[in-house]
């Protein structure tokens, strides 16, 4: 299990990385910035931004596969159902699948980093920003960095500390 500090940091990310609005233009701006970073840094990842009723941005960089889109689908489901970052689920529960009594079939839900709730002022959580392709903590970090950049907040104030390999 992760440290209480990491859990509190993710809760802070969730509560403070809040958008004033979310529409196609915002989805394109955030998603395009993530895609450009991935291409510049040589990251193989898929990025998906959506409201709960429709996908608004999707991009895949070289080195990804159909499996990444499937991971995105399951992470989105977890964010929507549990109303928190999928990496917070990892920190709170570990990466073992949900038990059968949770009613969260592993075919449709996953405990893995990379899904981040999109929260809009005065509306609450309206969708998700999801990354797949890197280790879960790094997927989460890419999403957080992108929201920090879009909102004009310092990445260093929100980033989780690096974990020694």
The reported pLDDT for the residue numbered 92 is: 94
Residue pair 47/35 in contact by the 8 Å Cβ criterion: yes
Q: Does residue 164 sit within a domain?
A: no
Which helix or strand (DSSP H or E) is residue 145 part of? helix 136-151
109 CB-contact burial (10 Å; exposed 0-12 / middle 13-18 / buried 19+)? buried
Asked if residue 24 is part of any domain, the answer here is yes
State residue 162's pLDDT score. 86
Within a domain: 165:
no
**Single pTM value for the model:** 0.95
Q: Tell whether 52 is covered by a domain.
A: yes
Total domains, the chain: 1
Distance CA 10, CA 158 (A): 8
**pLDDT for the residue 165:** 61
- State the pLDDT at residue 3: 85
From first to last of the 165 residues of the chain, give the pLDDT tens digit. 458 899 999 999 999 999 999 999 999 999 999 999 999 999 999 999 999 999 999 999 999 999 999 999 999 999 999 999 999 999 999 888 888 898 999 999 999 999 999 999 999 999 999 999 999 999 999 999 999 999 999 999 999 998 866
Domain span at residue 84 reads 4-156
Q: What is the CATH number of the domain that holds 112?
A: 3.30.450.150
Whether 45 maps to a domain, the answer reads yes
Q: Is residue 162 part of a domain?
A: no
């Amino acid at each position: 299990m992760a440290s209480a500090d990491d859990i509190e940091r993710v809760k802070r990310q969730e509560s403070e990385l809040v958008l004033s609005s979310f529409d196609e233009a915002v989805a394109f701006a955030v998603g395009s910035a993530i895609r450009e970073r991935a291409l510049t840094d040589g990251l193989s990842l898929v990025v998906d931004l959506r409201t709960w009723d429709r996908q608004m941005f999707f991009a895949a960089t070289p080195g990804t596969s159909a499996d990444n889109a499937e991971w995105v689908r399951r992470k989105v489901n977890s964010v929507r159902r549990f109303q928190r970052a999928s990496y917070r689920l990892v920190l709170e529960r570990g990466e073992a699948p949900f038990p059968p009594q949770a009613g969260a079939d592993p075919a449709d839900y996953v405990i893995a980093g990379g899904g981040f709730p999109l929260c809009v002022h005065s509306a609450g959580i309206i969708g998700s920003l999801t990354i797949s392709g890197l280790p879960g903590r790094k997927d989460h970090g890419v999403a957080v960095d992108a929201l920090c950049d879009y909102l004009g907040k310092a990445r260093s104030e929100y980033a989780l500390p690096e974990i020694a390999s």
